[in-house]
Amino acid sequence: MEEKKQTIYEEKTPKVKSGMGMLIATLLGLVLSIVAFIGGTFCMASAVETVQLVIGGILLLASIVWFIVDVILMKGLHIINPNEAIVFTLFGQYMGTLKEEGYYWINPFCSAINPTTEKSTFSITIGSESTANAQAPQVGKKKISLKANTLENGIQKVNDELGNPIEIGAVVIWKVKNPTKAVFNVDNYSVYISTQCDAIIRNVARCYPYDNMDEEEMGEKTLRGSSQEVADIMKKELQEKVDIAGIEILEVRITHLSYAPEIASAMLQRQQAVAIIAARQKIVEGAVSMVEMAINQLNENEVVELDEERKAAMVSNLLVVLCGNKDAQPVVNSGSIY
C-alpha cells in the first residue's frame, strides 16, 4: 500500500494533445452539427415519404449528439501561462501535472485540483493575539502559482532564552516547487506554511537572548546582534518542515524585533546603565594611561623631582580633571604642600 502511494505522488506529465488542433476540430464539429440540425429539420418539414422522415430524424439526433460531444470536448482545453501548473485527476486517480506553458487539450473528464480555492483568506490565532490575514496565492480556480510569494504573519509575542517577553515578526519568501506534493500531501499548502512559519519563529526565538549585556557573553549569538544568522536558521528549519508540501523557502528576514511594552522601559534603563558603565570604564582606562604617561615623561626629562606624596597628589588632580563631568576649576597654590 505504501509503495502504491509513492507511485501516485510521483510527479509526472499527463497525456495531452495540441489545444489549437482540438479547438479547430471542435469548432468544425459545432458548425457541422448546426448544419446537420438545419438539414434534418428541413428534411422533416418537407418530407413526403417515410424515408425522408427517417433521414431527417437521424440527422436531428446525430446533430444533437454531435453538439453535446463537442461541448464536452471543449472542456478539455487549458491554457498554461509561465510559472503556472495544473494537477489533474481522473475519477480520484492522479493523472499528471502540467507545468509547461502552452495551449493543451486533455481528457475532458479529468478534474483539476487546487486546495487553496476553498478559502481565499485565512488567519492564524495564537494565544490572545491573531496574526494578520494572509491571502492564498491564486491564479485561477484550477491553476497553481509557481511564482515567488511573500508571507508575513504579523508580530508575535514570545519569550527569549532569558525569559524576557519580546515581539518578533518575520517575512518569508517562498514558492511551490512540486505542485503534486502541494496538492496531495497537505490539506492546504498556504495554511500549512503559515502555521509552520509561526511555530518555527517561536521555537528559534526561544533559543537565543534578545541581547547580551554581559562581557562574558558578548561572543554568543543574539536576536538583535545576529539577526541574519538567526534568520538563516529559521530558513533551514522551515525548509525541513515544508519539504513534504513541495514548497521551497527562498528567504527569511526578521522585519520586527523589540521588547514587549510591559518591560520596554525597564530594559531601556538597563541598556542605558550598561552603556554608562562601559563609557566610564573607557574613560578611566584612558585617564590612567595618560597619568602614567605624564609621570614617566616628567621623570625622563627631569623637569621636577616628585616624591611619593607629590605623585599621589598629582595623580589625584589629573584623575579629577580627566574623569570629571564638568570643567575643572584651577586653584593656584602659593605655598608649600607640606
pTM above 0.75, yes or no: no
Instruction: Give the span between the Cα atoms of 22 and 55, in whole angstroms.
Output: 29
pLDDT at 281: 78
- Name the residue ranges covered by the structural domains of the chain: 2-112, 116-259, 267-323
pLDDT at 2: 43
Q: What is the pLDDT along the chain (338 residues), one digit of tens a residue?
A: 344 444 446 788 888 888 898 899 999 988 988 888 888 887 777 766 777 777 878 888 888 998 999 999 999 899 899 999 999 989 888 888 998 889 999 999 998 888 887 654 444 444 434 444 444 454 447 889 899 999 987 888 888 888 888 888 899 999 999 999 999 888 889 999 999 999 998 888 888 888 775 554 556 788 888 888 888 999 999 999 999 999 999 999 988 888 887 766 666 766 676 677 777 778 777 777 877 787 777 777 766 666 677 677 777 767 676 666 666 666 656 555 55
Three-class secondary structure assignment of the chain: CHHHHHHHHCCCCCCCEEHHHHHHHHHHHHHHHHHHHHHHHHHHHCCCCHHHHHHHHHHHHHHHHHHHHHHHHHCCEEEECCCEEEEEEECCEEEEEECCCEEEECCCCCEEECHHHCCCEECCEECCEECCCEECCECCCCCEECCCEEEEEEEEEEECCCCCEEEEEEEEEEEECCHHHHHHCCCCHHHHHHHHHHHHHHHHHCCCCCCCCCHHHCCCCCCCCCHHHHHHHHHHHHHHHHHHHCEEEEEEEEEEEEECHHHHHHHHHHHHHHHHHHHHHHHHHHHHHHHHHHHHHHHHHCCCCCCHHHHHHHHHHHHHHHHCCCCCCCCCCCCCCC
Comparing C-alpha atoms, which of 116, 139, 108 is closest to residue 14?
108
pLDDT at 162: 81
Instruction: Give the span between the Cα atoms of 236 and 227, in whole angstroms.
Output: 14
CA 40 to chain centre: 62
For the sheet containing 247-259, what is the strand order?
A: 149-159, 165-176, 247-259
Instruction: Give the span between the Cα atoms of 87 and 184, in whole angstroms.
Output: 10
**Selecting from 3.30.479.30, 3.20.20.10, 3.40.50.300, 3.90.78.10, what CATH number does the domain 116-259 have?**
3.30.479.30
Comparing C-alpha atoms, which of 182, 177, 184, 178 is closest to residue 4?
184
198 with 124: CB under 8 angstroms?
yes
pLDDT at 337: 53
